[in-house]
Amino acid sequence: MAIARGYKEFELVPIFYLREEEIVAKLESRVNEADMWLFSGQVPYAIAKAWGGVTKPMFYVTYEGSSLYRTLLQIALERKWNLERLSYDTFRPSVLERTFAEANIQAKPVHVKYYPGVISVKELSDYHEALYRGGRTEGAVTCLRSAFLELQRRGVPAFRVLPTVASVESVLNLILRAKEALHFREAQIAVQMIEVDTFLGLIKNKFVTDELYKLELQVTEKLLRYARKVRGSLKQAGPGRYVIFTTRKLLEDITGDFHFVPDLEDLKIAPGAITCGIGTGTSAYEAETHAGQALLHAHGQGKGSWMAFFDDNTIVGPLGHPEQVAYSCAPETLQQTSHDSGLSVSTLSKLDSVLKKIGHREINAHDLAQHLRVQPRSARRLLLALEAAGYAEVVGESNPHPRGRPRRIYRVNFGDSSG
């Protein structure tokens, strides 16, 4: 809170808890109060994510980097413990090993309890205590406050990793960039590709050409009024097919964040008469392509279905159905890499495109940053995340400037993981 107060962009809404069991209840009563959510660590974040009631972007303070370095230094100065005879939690083993190597610590973390999601205080405390009582460790290093207090209560020597100013500022700056990205996303081009079955609007056995033509004119008038409501432009793309160009934000508002079909008089023609595909993209061409793919998926769901296809290769729909689902159309290799590394499929798709463009799988952070138009440290974090998950490995170094820091060259492979 003290650090965040230094950022004029934030209006802070603190929510405190003592036990993890309180988190969901506190979130339920205040879930609509924030545009972004920042959690104090991985566990409360995982609890909120598993609950599923938070629809806004969520972040948590990490305990890697400077936070971990500070704790290891504190242990070395105060206790002079053998770092191999400590138990650790939260961190991936590869992250700890890399931290030790970078700090020139001649030891290897042996006892590590890594958990990617929710974990109980009892399970975590039992793990550390069993090692300590069995004489295998001298103490514990934990990131969870409640586990630290429980270990103290049980008489197990423990250190708690606390976030440094740098780690908090890092996530606050990430939130600011995410807000900018969200604004960009809301302003993205969105396309609705609509197919209207005018025959459903005709009375059975009373079909005549003039009636069909009249009904088509009425449909066009209705869609023009609807297009004005979403501040879009309407064009006809063939018999019974129409395309509306607008923005993602306007469609999010009118569909309840792509959860239901707009209940507008302008769209009421006949039950099941309108089938729609919505697409978003960074260009009009990409958005229209995605809208066409969404329309094909809508046809697969039956007449009158609405589906949405986003620029991160996810599909949502059918809109308005209680059994609405979201799934990815990205290759399975990227989906698995995303799951293992914590990186989004969209980011991985961009990286894959860069590698295909340059014609090989080796790249350094500096070159990747130029291709992705991001800061070198962001590209470095991306490559480190892939390395930790086993999808990248250091294969060499380059030093374009004799006095500069050598640049690590990574080989990236989404199709194989050793992690």
User: Residues 6 or more apart from 168 whose CB is under 8 A from it?
Assistant: 3, 4, 61
Pair (122, 200) in one structural domain: no
CA angle at 394 for the pair 390 and 397, rounded to the nearest 5° = 165
The separation between CA 277 and the C-alpha centre of its own chain, rounded to angstroms, equals: 23
CB-based contact 387:413 (threshold 8 Å): no
Domain membership flag for residue 122: yes
CA angle at 271 for the pair 270 and 275, rounded to the nearest 5° = 95
Burial category of 349 from C-beta neighbours within 10 Å (exposed 0-12, middle 13-18, buried 19 and up):
middle
Q: What is the pLDDT of residue 350?
A: 78
CA–CA separation, 385 and 402 (whole Å): 28
Pair (139, 204) in one structural domain: no
CA angle at 259 for the pair 294 and 339, rounded to the nearest 5° = 70
CATH of the domain at 142: 3.40.50
CA–CA separation, 301 and 295 (whole Å): 10
Pair (87, 142) in one structural domain: yes
CATH of the domain at 280: 3.30.70.270
Q: What is the pLDDT of residue 42?
A: 87
CATH of the domain at 361: 1.10.10.10
What are the DSSP calls for 275-337, one per residue? Answer: EEEEEEESSHHHHHHHHHHHHHHHHHH-TT-EEEE-TTSEEEE-TT-TT-EEEE-S-HHHHHH
Q: Residue 407 forms beta bridges with which residues?
A: 398
Domain membership flag for residue 182: no
- For the chain, the residue count is 419
Domain membership flag for residue 212: yes
pLDDT tens per residue, the chain (419 residues)? 899 999 999 999 999 998 899 999 999 999 888 989 999 988 899 899 889 888 888 899 888 888 898 999 889 888 888 899 999 999 989 889 888 888 888 888 999 999 877 889 999 999 999 999 999 999 999 999 999 999 999 999 999 999 889 889 988 988 888 787 777 777 888 999 999 886 655 444 455 567 667 777 888 888 888 888 888 999 888 778 899 999 998 999 899 889 889 877 777 776 778 899 999 987 788 889 899 999 998 988 888 899 999 987 788 889 988 777 776 666 777 778 887 888 877 788 778 878 887 888 999 999 998 888 788 888 999 999 999 888 999 988 876 665 566 788 999 987 654 44
**Number of domains, the chain:** 4
CA–CA separation, 195 and 238 (whole Å): 9
Pair (213, 198) in one structural domain: yes
Q: What is the pLDDT of residue 122?
A: 95
Q: What is the pLDDT of residue 372?
A: 80
For 347, the domain range is 332-412
CB-based contact 193:291 (threshold 8 Å): yes
Q: What is the pLDDT of residue 211?
A: 67
For the whole model, what pTM was predicted? Answer: 0.53
Pair (198, 282) in one structural domain: yes
Q: What is the pLDDT of residue 3?
A: 92
CA–CA separation, 230 and 28 (whole Å): 31
Domain membership flag for residue 32: yes
241-247 and 233-236 strand pairing: antiparallel
Closest C-alpha to 177, from 14, 36, 361, 19: 36
Q: What is the pLDDT of residue 407?
A: 84
